[in-house]
Amino acid sequence: MAKGIWVFAEQRDEEIKKVTYELLSAGRKAADALGEELCAVLMGRGVGSLAGKLGEYGADKVYVADVDALENYTTDAYTNVLADLAKEHQPTAILLACSVAGRDLAAQVAQRLGTGLMTDCTDIAMEDGQLVFTRPIYAGKAFVKAACPQARPVMATIRPNVLAADAPQAGRAAETVTVSAGAGDIRQVIKEIIKQISTRPELTEADIIVSGGRGMKGPENFAILEELADVLGAAVGASRAAVDAGWLSHSFQVGQTGKTVSPVLYIACGISGAIQHLAGMSSSKCIVAINKDPEANIFKVADYGIVGDLFEIVPLLKEEMKKLLA
């Protein structure tokens, strides 16, 4: 019988990503409901020492695949290891983060195992004894609840920041199992990795995002958003208008054809709130809009709005935040 809820433990630069803890907390509840074990699968090079943390966050068992070939993510290496492991142990479900690597890996493994995959999920529940996943479709304009009734494992990728991570239990240890299988034939040859050097959090993982649109008037003015972002420990985002104008690269774009974000706080400055922009950020917990047009659509989704000139308000807001956070 298929057993176990598995979580793919995503790490980067030898640090476990926060979303992994969110997955473990959700996985823990599912495992308890089914009376099964919760396992984390940790892959990389020199990552063995991270297993302890996964235990503290709820894993009963950690499969560790620690080999040179897994140092950087490649589709083939990671797929080979995870799919082989799943074939051997037949888990009930595999949960991954909806990150670039997580969704890449999920699709390959799902097909190799001949199973179903639900991506970018924002909720997991047990209903009538089966795992049911909620996922936004049409960029969040609608939702679907879906399940994978027969094929196993049930696979899903979960959007970062939407599920809460429970507090770790210091000293709670997981059994560590060393995975001996190799990474196999790797057809994707990495020629170069270009890391985005930024002291700010990544857009999709950030708790707070300060975003700018056409109202910023030019690339140089993003400095005032960056200053506010730095005070708040926030990421900087942009509307497509700002990206298309060449002010910021596409990796900053929020929306239907950009990134989908769910921060705790999203501050939209000089953004009108086009339907395609809202699609990418309307699941934010709290939305603030600063716009000089009281009729701007963004105010319809904003929890707090200031009608005014962002060039006056943003610097003042930065000073107020500095005082509050001092």
Partner 1 sequence: MKIVVLMKQVFDTEAKITLDGSGKINKQGVSLVMNPYDEYAVELGLRIKEKLKGEVTVVSLGGDEVQSALRQALAMGADKAVLVDPGTEEIDEFTTATILAKAVGGMEYDIILGGFKAIDDGSVQVCGRVAEILGVPVVNVVTQAEVEEGKAVATCDIDGGSAVIEVSLPAVLTAQKGGIEPRYPSMKGIMQAKKKPMQKIGLAEIGLDAAQVAPKVKALNFFMPAARAAGKTVPGEPAEAARELARLLREEAKVI
Binds partner 1 (CB under 8 A): choice among 146, 173, 177, 181:
146
Unique residue bearing structure tokens 């595999």: 94
Of the residues 148, 235, 241, 269, which one makes contact with partner 1 according to CB under 8 A: 148
**Bridging pattern class, strands 38-44 and 61-66:** parallel
99 binds, among ligand FAD, partner 1, none (CB under 5 to 8 A by kind): partner 1
Give the H or E element holding residue 306. Answer: strand 304-307
Q: Give the C-alpha separation, 182 to 184, whole Å.
A: 5
**Residues in contact with 123: Cβ distance below 8 Å, sequence separation at least 6, in sequence order:** 133, 134, 162, 163
241's contact among partner 1, ligand FAD, none, with CB below 5 to 8 A by partner kind, is ligand FAD
Residues 27-86 contacting partner 1, CB under 8 A: 72-76
Rounded Cα–Cα distance for residues 242 and 32 (Å): 47
Q: Six-digit token pair at 311?
A: 């060039």
We find the least distance from the C-beta atom of residue 278 to partner 1, in angstroms, to be 10
Query: Is 250 one of the binding residues for partner 1 (CB under 8 A)?
Result: yes
86 vs 296, which CB is nearer to ligand FAD?
296
The minimum distance between CB 264 and ligand FAD, in angstroms, equals 20
| 307 forms part of the interface with partner 1 (CB under 8 A) | yes
Window 119-138: contact mask with partner 1 (x via CB under 8 A): xx-----------x--xxxx
Q: How many C-beta neighbours within 10 Å does residue 167 have? A: 10
List contacts with ligand FAD (CB under 6 A).
Answer: 213-215, 239-242, 253-258, 270-272, 274, 276-277, 280, 290-293, 296, 309-311
What's the first-to-final CA gap in the chain, in angstroms?
56
Measured CA to CA, the distance from residue 242 to residue 239 in angstroms comes to 5
